[in-house]
Amino acid sequence: MLIKGRVWKYGDDINTDVLFPGKYTYTVTDAKEMAKIALEDLDPEFAKNVQKGDVIVGGANFGCGSSREQAASCLLYAGVGAVVAKTFARIFFRNCINFGLPALTSEKAVDALEHGESIEIDTEKGEILCEAGVFSFPPLPEEVVGIFDAGGLIPYTKKQLGIK
């Protein structure tokens, strides 16, 4: 998969409440509406200006807090192509895999990337291309790469159960 877009850069400990506020978890369920409130409590400019293929860059512990998977799916619905961080909180990381949203770990890339710059990610080669150069990221564990390749946990499960 080739992802091309601009960088939206934020800091450490970006939590699920600022990605997708708790007060909406049972009331906003439509994908388009979810996209509109992505990052509402972190960066009100984001949802208005995000374009397909844009990449969110965060520091350590990205996605900490709640188990709510809307914190990952709202990014996907907003057009985000990938999230690059130094480390991910575990449930958020699982939710990304389960929705087929690339969650990539590269400390060096995060340090080098700047807000607004252009970025290209080649998920097959495991490379991030940007102004500062080329950075690699580790592949997903073999056991879960199938989930990601199937487009997420639900299509993967359908395949496993032989449901078309």
**32: number of CA atoms within 13 Å, CB side?**
0
Burial of 58 (0-12, 13-18, 19+ CB in 10 A): buried
Provide φ and ψ at 122, rounded to 5°.
-110, 105
Report the length, in residues, of the chain: 164
Among 7, 38, 57, 61, binds other proteins (CB under 8 A): 61
* Choice between 16 and 123, CB closer to other proteins: 16
Which of these segments, 48-56, 95-103, 109-117, 131-139, binds other proteins (CB under 8 A)? 95-103
Burial of 11 (0-12, 13-18, 19+ CB in 10 A): exposed
- Which residues within the stretch 101-140 sit at the binding site for other proteins (CB under 8 A)? none
Task: Report which secondary-structure segment, H or E, holds 135.
Answer: strand 133-136
Which of these segments, 49-57, 84-92, 102-110, 127-135, binds other proteins (CB under 8 A)? 84-92
Q: Quick one: CA dihedral 108, 78, 17, 143, positive or negative? A: negative
φ/ψ bin of 133: left (φ > 0), alpha (ψ from -120 to 50), beta (otherwise): left
* Choice between 59 and 126, CB closer to other proteins: 59
Among 4, 9, 25, 47, binds other proteins (CB under 8 A): 25
* Choice between 95 and 123, CB closer to other proteins: 95
Among 29, 49, 51, 118, binds other proteins (CB under 8 A): 29
Among 23, 52, 115, 125, binds other proteins (CB under 8 A): 23
Residues that bind other proteins (CB under 8 A): 12-13, 15-18, 21-23, 25-27, 29, 40-42, 60-61, 64-69, 72, 87, 89-91, 94-95, 98-99, 141, 143-144, 152-154, 157-158, 160-161, 163
